[in-house]
Structure 1
Amino acid sequence: MGATCIQFILTEHTVVKNINLNRAKLQAIETAEQCCRISVPEVLPPVNFHDLPDSRIEVLSCVIKQGRKNLPMKF
C-alpha cells in the first residue's frame, strides 16, 4: 500500500453516493497497521470526476465490473 491519499471519485455510474468517511479512515488506519506502515493515507471526501483538476490526475486506474463482464470506460 504505497498510496499517500485515497480519493473517492463519483461518476454517472456510481452506485454508492454516500460514503462513510469515518469508516474509510478507520479502514485506512487498520490497513496501514496490517502493512506495518508508519504513515496512514489521507482519506479525502468524494469528488465528481469532471471536477477533478488535471494536476491531481497522475494515474487513474479503474476496474468496473457488472457480474462477470467488464464494462467499457468512457471519459
Structure 2
Amino acid sequence: MRTVCARWQEAEELPRWLAEGYYHVATDVPSWTAHPNFPRPEPADYYTACIERLTDLADWFFRGWHAYMEPHTWADL
C-alpha cells in the first residue's frame, strides 16, 4: 500500500477500483481484527501499530501526502 501511495500521490484522479480497495482495507480490517475470535499470535501492540499504519496509508492515499515530516522512515512492522 505504501508503494502505491508513493506512485499515485501526484495523480489528479484515482481509479475507482483502487480507491474502493483502500477504503475497504482501512475500514474493514480494524473491525475484523477487533472480533474476539480473531487469532492474535503477535503481541497486542503489533495489531495496534498495523491498524495505525493502515489508517496513515489510507489518509496519504486519499489526500496525496502523508502526515509525517520528511525525511520520514516507515518502520517495519
Please classify the TM superposition score into its range, dividing by the shorter chain length: 0.3 to 0.5
Structure with the bigger percentage of helix: 2
TM-score, normalised by the number of residues in structure 2: 0.36
TM-score, normalised by the number of residues in structure 1: 0.36
